[in-house]
Amino acid sequence: MALSESQIPPDAQHYLVCGTEDCEKNCQFYCNDCHLPMCEQCRYEHQKNKKTKNHEVVPYKLRKRQLPVEKCKIHPTRQIEFLCEECQIPICSKCTATKEHRGHVFTDLEVVFAEKCSFCYEEIANIRKYFEPTSQELKKEIAEDVTKIKKIMEGIRTAMKAEAESLKRMVDAVTSDNIEQVDKIEQSLLHTSNGQNQTIDDYINYLDDLIQTYYGYLSPSDIENLTFALKSENLMIKPIPETSKPVPPVFTAGQHSKEDVAKLLGRISVPSTKPENRKIKPMDTASTQLKPTGKQRKQEREKSDVKQTLSRSSSVTKVREYKVPGVIHVFHISLGKSGRLWVSATFGNLVQTDLQGNQLQKIRTSGVIGSYHTVTQDGDLIYTDQDNKVINRITQDNTITEFIKTEDWEPLSIHSSHINGDILVGMETDEVAKVTRYNKTGTEIQNIQRDNKGQALYSNPHYITENINGDVCVSDYNAVVVVDNLGQYRFSYTGQGSEFIPYGICTDVLGHILVCDDFSGKVHLLDKDGQFLSLLLTPQQGVGSIRSVCVDDEKNMWVGQLDNIVKVFKYLE
């Protein structure tokens, strides 16, 4: 069962086709009375018809939302049509005549419903464009603070350990000096004690010898000698030598506490400063297509000045051409800062050159062919790794890091928004395809896959770009598919009658869409609403089979061919 317009989810994509019977042209207008989308021709016929000439027909984006069919609770046979301003309840036309609502003011419920729907869409857009990205940025800032805190605390721990080790070394040195002093005192005391011990030993030996002498004098046969000996002073016993007790040193323990040691080692303290609230950029400076910053306003003024002075030239003039070394074919071009050119070729070769064609670097990537790189607002290059299903980043110092994982989806095309830095990626699986929008930090914020009828928008989104109005323009298998920045379908372009195989696609400062037709070898020029304007390049102008196209800051058109030739043309004046 088909959904009514009011039942369509706010993030659904609208497939804008004229609702008039047997007409399948692009829808541009809407009849608020009939609730019918219509093309320009059908609008003309609608307003010529006597029955509908007074109907309110407006541009599609200014349409009134159709009121859902809902029966009145009091009069079940009637549909609710009005809002009672006094009672603030929806009522039917029959209710307006009842005494409960006598003298009350009634408003067309369809008007109220349209206002409420518009408010909801605006709030959804605000959430997606400002509140959600800003919250993600705060989350990133908090994560950075966590990393910073861990680093600071680890530094404090290291400093504490180093200070403790230093104090330990000083303690060990003092202890070593004290022990050395104890050793010297011990040696001195032991030397004195050993000397006294030897003196006593000598005295004991003297006593032993004296005993033997006395025993000799006790012989009864030598009384005269004994009498003489007893008169000799030599037989007088010498007094015991004097010795002294050692006086050992006394160790006085240091008088210190844990606090004393803490003073020596230092302390950690938490500053009394009140934490600052994180800065949340105001809504009017949010980067996602809200009110522009000063820099963005300046850029917009410059673009506006350019628009006022630029127009499509009556002829296309070749400025220069050169060969790109290291590639066989030029499948996609990304212009970087400082006059650098990135070119992708067959089987994953990614080459950077200067504007004279001199090769600066060559990178072997995973992938086959196609539009798989883009230069960000910061000047970094990001490119898809199709086999590994990731998106890598090359910073300006040539460091390669993994940026985004696309899980089960194979990333094909990629574009970095010049409006807000968002990253648009065309991707596919074996069965389905979609376009995913990431913010500049790599957080997924939008998926564009189906129209409001549930039909797939894409089958092979192999080239992608963004227009100045935020439209997402995709080269698919046999059509250019364009949706607005909310993912609502705007139009498709399928060429000028003959077979059409779109490849490289880009936009310029006037909102033109430039797309390469691989079948005819031509570059088609469309306006921002998908109307064909002209063929910018054809084989008659000396170009080969063209696969890639981009526009530089000088308003020149760069095209890459199915060889290693890049040609530059002037098409605006």
Residue 430 gets which letter from DSSP?
S
pTM of the model: 0.49
Q: φ, ψ for residue 395 (rounded to 5)?
A: -80, 170
Give 437's strand partners. Answer: 424, 446
**3-state SS, residue 425:** strand
Dump strand ranges (E) for 355-478: 359-364, 373-375, 381-385, 390-394, 400-405, 410-416, 423-428, 433-438, 444-448, 463-466, 472-475
Q: Is the Cβ–Cβ distance between 92 and 82 less than 8 Å?
A: yes
Q: What are 250-304's pLDDT values in tens digits?
A: 888 888 888 888 888 777 777 777 888 888 878 754 334 444 444 444 454 455 4
In Å, how far are 295, 355, 557 from 543, measured between CA atoms? 38, 19, 13
Edge-to-edge strands of the sheet including 89-91? 89-91, 82-84, 106-108
Average pLDDT per block of 10 residues along the chain, 573 residues long: 44 68 85 88 88 86 79 90 90 90 87 81 86 91 91 87 88 91 93 94 92 76 63 74 90 82 78 80 53 46 48 76 83 80 77 83 68 84 88 85 91 90 92 92 89 87 93 93 91 90 92 91 92 90 86 88 87 84
Q: Which two tokens stand for residue 94?
A: 């029959």
Q: Max Cα separation, the chain?
A: 183
* Whole-number pLDDT of residue 292: 44
